[in-house]
Structure 1
Amino acid sequence: MLNLERLRTLDALARHGSVSGAAGGLHVTTSAVSQQMAKLEREVGQPLLVKNGRGVRLTDAGRLLADHAARIISQVELAQADVEAQRGCAVGELRVGAFPTALRGLFPDALCALRAEHPELRVLTRELEPEESMAAVVRGDLDLAVAIDWYNKRMPVPGELVRADLLDDAADVAVPATHPLADRPAVDLADFADDDWISWNEGQFCYEWLVFTLRGEGIEPRIRHIAEEHQTQLAFVAAGLGVCVTPRLGRGPVPAGVRLLPVREAVRRHIYVVWRADADRRPSIRAAVDALRASGVRHATA
């Protein structure tokens, strides 16, 4: 009989396209992936992988078995969801991904609540950008992902995922205390047409949003500095190196020498959580969503 864990390894190889990618998705070593595949090839009596340059590719038999493995794993997940739903308890392991400010702003309260209310549930968290974590949910590497839309730009959600809204998060413009507009009670983004900007990494959804939004205001942004973390961006602002948009969730202490200016036409992020539709009945999913929503309410009313 075929071993389920080895079928999971084959499925991960088919989805990721490499031994290292499969190892990362399964949270095991590359040697463990190779060992599992060698055992699976002995079980089926024929090669499932062949070398392809520095990597590997599936043989015809490998692709055939990988298709079956995907269906088997999906049925196992449905069975797990049904058993959990019948028992009515949030138990087992739940793998969650979230972007940095959501992880910092929502998860400490949410995880403490889950630990108190569902002691048999083990939550594993990973810090990932929304695009990465959503793709990981589609692949089956994560159970939940926290993602964002901006008020004027949506992130595509794959059709096989279910979405639940958590909260709306306002953002301000951070400027040096010496900036000519630092004492304004409110500003428009167009007020900063001549400023240098500090932004997220190029290619990320938030970077694309910033460029899209400023161009919509008639501004061709001068992005001089790239920094992943909001605290790093604020440190650059404090040094007088530019301005940035800074959301409130998970922002933390603001350095001396920085002024936060509300935007007249509110700049907001819509924060939500997604999971696979075939896991919709799992009590652990529902418990985590409820805990994240409660944490979002506490943040919004703080």
Structure 2
Amino acid sequence: MFDSRHIQTFAEVVRTGSYAATARDLGYTQPAISQQMKALERAAGTPLFVRAGRGLRLTDAGQLLARHATGILSSIETAHGQLKAITRLESGRIRVCAFPAANATLLPATVARVAAAHPGIRVELLEEEPPDSLRALREGRCDLTLAFSPGNAGEHGSEEGLVELPLLDDPLMALLPVGHALAGNGRVELVQLERERWIAGCRRCRGHLVAACAAAGFAPDIAFTTDDNLAVQELVAAGAGVALVPGMTLPLLRHTDVVALPLAPAGGRRVSAFVLEGHETAPVTALLLRTLSETAA
């Protein structure tokens, strides 16, 4: 393995034609230059110079390395400059995988804040529900994942190799048609909806619904399953059933014939950001985690 400092000194020796001139230009002693070149020759496994009178002549191996030296040093300089840009948050890319409600509510404001303060940072968004989003993180298809777990108990944070940053507690709301007998109440108890037909969402959302209803003492009659928020609203508005929706989706509530009521007792889920252990201190990742936390607050 070549030492980049030795390559830099080698390029200067090639330019000046002697150890003495190189030592004078670089501010080293001549023995120091000689020792660096011997170390480089050991790494190369062959001599790079031969004496030619009072100067030096490159061997075939030395000529080969000289042709590459400029490119090697240029690449190192370019890499160093790019690393400094990333460290200073002047450039960089981060891939975020999140569930639909987060992509529609939490992330747009976050991305806008990052873009305003650091226009060189590129944020790319993917969409997956947990646990698929966490799998994407582990498989390297994204750098940061937004996922949710029921209640205040972490569902993912104890998994080895993941770091969790809790962002917000997202309350569950009952979505009812405006003509429903309970629609005028300030809040609704889940047990009051025991005889209703239900509209369930994604696989994990369906599990949360079943668990919440079981805690209230009944099993929900799930008649429809859809991940489409607009479809849920249309079905509820048409009187086909009721639904439990996260509070994060309320900004997406566009239908005038539905009403969202908080539950009593309150139920909800925890929304968190996840990164691989050790990645949370990377400059761009740390920036996004910080901005997500500020946006969620």
When normalised by structure 2's length, the TM-score is 0.67
Q: Is 1:274 matched with 2:240?
A: no
Query: What SS class does the counterpart of residue 256 from structure 1 fall into?
Result: coil
Query: What letter is aligned with 2:169?
Result: D
> Are the equivalent residues in 1 in contact too, given 2:86–2:284 (CA < 8 A)?
no
Task: Tell me which moved more, 138-147 or 173-182.
Answer: 173-182
> Are the equivalent residues in 1 in contact too, given 2:152–2:269 (CA < 8 A)?
no
Query: What letter is aligned with 2:236?
Result: V
Q: Which residue of 2 aligns with 1:196?
A: 197
Change beyond 3 A, Cα 1:160–1:108? same
> Are the equivalent residues in 2 in contact too, given 1:170–1:268 (CA < 8 A)?
yes
1 or 2 for the larger relative contact order (CA 8 Å, sep ≥6)?
Answer: 1
Deviations 1:54-108 (A, max 9, x none): xxxxxxxxxxxxxxxxxxxxxxxxxx9xx57993436322110010111111111
Q: Is 1:179 matched with 2:176?
A: no
Between the aligned partners of 1:177 and 1:278, the Cα distance in structure 2 is: 49
Q: Equivalent residues in 2 for 1:64-213 (5 A)? A: 87-89=87-89, 91-151=91-151, 154-157=154-157, 158-201=159-202, 204-213=203-212
Query: What SS class does the counterpart of residue 182 from structure 1 fall into?
Result: coil
Between the aligned partners of 2:248 and 2:148, the Cα distance in structure 1 is: 12
CA RMSD of aligned residues (A): 2.3
Alignment gaps of 5+ in structure 2 = 1-79
Residue 129 of structure 1: how far off its partner (Å): 0.6
> Are the equivalent residues in 1 in contact too, given 2:198–2:243 (CA < 8 A)?
yes
Specify the structure having the higher radius of gyration (Cα).
2
Change beyond 3 A, Cα 1:233–1:90? farther
Alignment gaps of 5+ in structure 1 = 1-79, 298-302
Percent of aligned positions that are identical: 28
Query: What SS class does the counterpart of residue 197 from structure 1 fall into?
Result: strand
Between the aligned partners of 2:85 and 2:208, the Cα distance in structure 1 is: 39
Query: What SS class does the counterpart of residue 140 from structure 1 fall into?
Result: coil
Q: Equivalent residues in 2 for 1:1-20 (5 A)? A: none
Task: Tell me which moved more, 244-253 or 104-113.
Answer: 244-253
> Are the equivalent residues in 1 in contact too, given 2:233–2:253 (CA < 8 A)?
no
Change beyond 3 A, Cα 1:253–1:274? same
Change beyond 3 A, Cα 1:119–1:86? closer
Between the aligned partners of 2:255 and 2:148, the Cα distance in structure 1 is: 26
Q: Is 1:214 matched with 2:213?
A: yes
Residue 261 of structure 1: how far off its partner (Å): 1.6
Query: What letter is aligned with 1:289?
Result: L
Residue 169 of structure 1: how far off its partner (Å): 1.7
Q: Which residue of 1 aligns with 2:16?
A: none
Between the aligned partners of 1:86 and 1:98, the Cα distance in structure 2 is: 24
Q: Which residue of 1 aligns with 2:243?
A: 244
Between the aligned partners of 1:146 and 1:93, the Cα distance in structure 2 is: 17
Query: What letter is aligned with 2:167?
Result: L
Between the aligned partners of 1:153 and 1:225, the Cα distance in structure 2 is: 28
Change beyond 3 A, Cα 1:153–1:211? farther
Between the aligned partners of 1:84 and 1:139, the Cα distance in structure 2 is: 27
Q: Which residue of 1 aligns with 2:234?
A: 235
Between the aligned partners of 2:129 and 2:197, the Cα distance in structure 1 is: 25
Query: What letter is aligned with 1:199?
Result: A
> Are the equivalent residues in 2 in contact too, given 1:171–1:268 (CA < 8 A)?
yes
Between the aligned partners of 1:198 and 1:218, the Cα distance in structure 2 is: 18
Hey, which bits of structure 1, 4+ residues long, moved more than 6 A? none
Query: What SS class does the counterpart of residue 249 from structure 1 fall into?
Result: helix
Query: What SS class does the counterpart of residue 162 from structure 1 fall into?
Result: strand
Equivalent pairs counted in the alignment come to: 216
Between the aligned partners of 2:96 and 2:86, the Cα distance in structure 1 is: 23
